[in-house]
Chain A
Amino acid sequence: MTSRPILEVAALHKRFATAGGEVEALRNVGLTMRRGEFVCLIGASGCGKSTLLRIIGGFETASEGRITMDGAPVVGPGPERGMVFQDYGLFPWLSVRENIAFGPAARGIGRVKRGEIAERFIAMIGLTRFADAYPHQLSGGMKQRVAIARVLANDAALILMDEPFGALDAMTREHLQSELLSLWASSGLSVIFVTHAIEEAILLADRIVVMSPGPGRITAEIAVDLARPRDITSAPFNALRREVSALLGAHGGNG
């Protein structure tokens, strides 16, 4: 049995009108994702990777082209496509518990049930002691854990992550990368992860989609067949690193 792709992006174009004339942000982008796949979008700034992610999230509309999730056209933001922002986007007036229960509440799930859901995901991200803390009392890494739990608690099937660990220190970033991988492995989630760090992409992805600017377009796709957990010092890892680096050109990422 071949299952239907979870996400299909076809012939996508995005043009912005600016003061200096029209800018072509994305040209003829196509991407098909199978269920459970972990895809990293990588490219230099201005390559349109974040724009593509935001269009898939439903926050922006394409100028041309088609996006379907599970066969249904994407017409706006929705719970099945959970977005994790680099700046977290947590509601500052809600505690950790309330932030995680926010999505279920918005979808009309009853108090008792959403309380159970919140408890489960608070335990999963290891923040039981901070369940009643407010976002401003948390570290960056803790906030991003809450942001991830929030979309999982809302039954997202596809997680869209926009450089989610870019604002964190190296140690925290490594922790969250491995937590994300074990979460992904145990849940069957599909993930699109935008990054400009080569090492991060190779560490995480099943498939790396390389994008280039001027206009933003997909220039290469690389399957990463290394077994997990991946050793960033191994020879095959380094070979891939050189390959992606060459594809990104001399000014490519800094991972």
Chain B
Amino acid sequence: MAAPSSGPPGAIAALVPLGLLAFWWAATRNAPDGLIPQPQQVASELLDLAGITHSGDAFNGVLWANLLASASRVFAGFAVSALLGLPLGLMIGQIGLVRRLLDSTLQLLRPVPVTAWQPLFLILFGLGSQSAMLLVALGCFYPILLNTILGVRSVEPRLLEAAAMLGVSRPAMFPKVVLPSAMPGIFTGLRLGLGFAWVVIVVGEMSGIRTGLGAMIMDAREESRTDVVIGGMIAIGLAGFVCDIAVQAIGRRLLRWSPQHGGKA
């Protein structure tokens, strides 16, 4: 693709983050002990959280264990969601009966936000890792499901005609035409789902859990450690960003035939 928007992120991608950083710095420059810490204070706290420096306070070096706890819940929840959402989405997209059976139920449940589910999950599954993980699963479920359905439903009729004309039997149509042509939609769903998982995990870890980046942020809030709060936010942002880059790289490889997914024209 020739459009500059699809090129590799270069210097232009750094402009807005640097601008925000400059604004932050300028706004806090004359208040070293204000409510909002200065960027350099957060940077040094991040080093301390990561265990690179040793302040010896309660948050020294706790980043990695918390990141690992969050990431394992993100990936477990995402996996549960994909294992349920993909087959269900394929069936809803392909089989009219399943669609009529489930559509209204799914549309009714869809507007209920994960935050509203959280208290119920805590009652059902108890305080702890499991509730957070299942909350993540619920959070990624709809993007995965809906994009899979959309992918299956948007198969070009022309391709089904072409396949029929070339001798593909009706039962073979699904694996030979429908599934490959739904792949970009499925992939978009997985990517959105994983991104959303990082949003939901923090909500899930904000009550009833002692580990994870969300729990770390809540602990820091109790102790008015705004530098740790912001450091935790940055860590979550980076973790989600790195995940997305990895998923996109996989997509570029698997979907190199698709001009929308980084295929070269």
Contact = CB atoms under 8 A, between A and B. Distances in A.
Interface string A62-95: 0000000000000011110111010101111111
DSSP class of A's interface residues: helix, strand, loop or mixed? Answer: loop
B181 to A, nearest CB: 7
A77 B256 contact: no
A106 B176 contact: yes
A136 B180 contact: no
DSSP class of B's interface residues: helix, strand, loop or mixed? Answer: helix
Contacts of A90: 162
B166 interface: yes
Contacts of A135: 257
Q: How large is the interface on B (under 10, 10 to 19, 20 to 34, 35 or more residues)?
A: 20 to 34
A106 B161 contact: no
B208 interface: no
B177 A91 contact: yes
B264 interface: yes
B158 interface: yes
A154 interface: yes
A94 B257 contact: yes
Contact of A83 (B165, B257, B259, B264): B165
Interface in A231-255: none
B127 to A, nearest CB: 46
Interface string B154-173: 00001101111111110010
Contacts of B180: 91, 93
B118 interface: no
B94 to A, nearest CB: 18
B161 A79 contact: no
Interface of B: 158-159, 161-169, 172, 176-177, 180-181, 183, 256-259, 263-265
15 contacts: A59-B161, A59-B164, A76-B164, A77-B165, A79-B166, A85-B158, A87-B158, A91-B180, A92-B258, A102-B166, A106-B169, A135-B257, A136-B265, A150-B166, A151-B166
Interface of A: 57-59, 76-79, 81-83, 85, 87, 89-95, 102-103, 106-107, 134-137, 150-151, 154
Given A136-B258, A136-B263, 9 more contacts: A57-B165, A59-B164, A77-B165, A81-B165, A85-B162, A91-B180, A106-B167, A136-B265, A154-B166
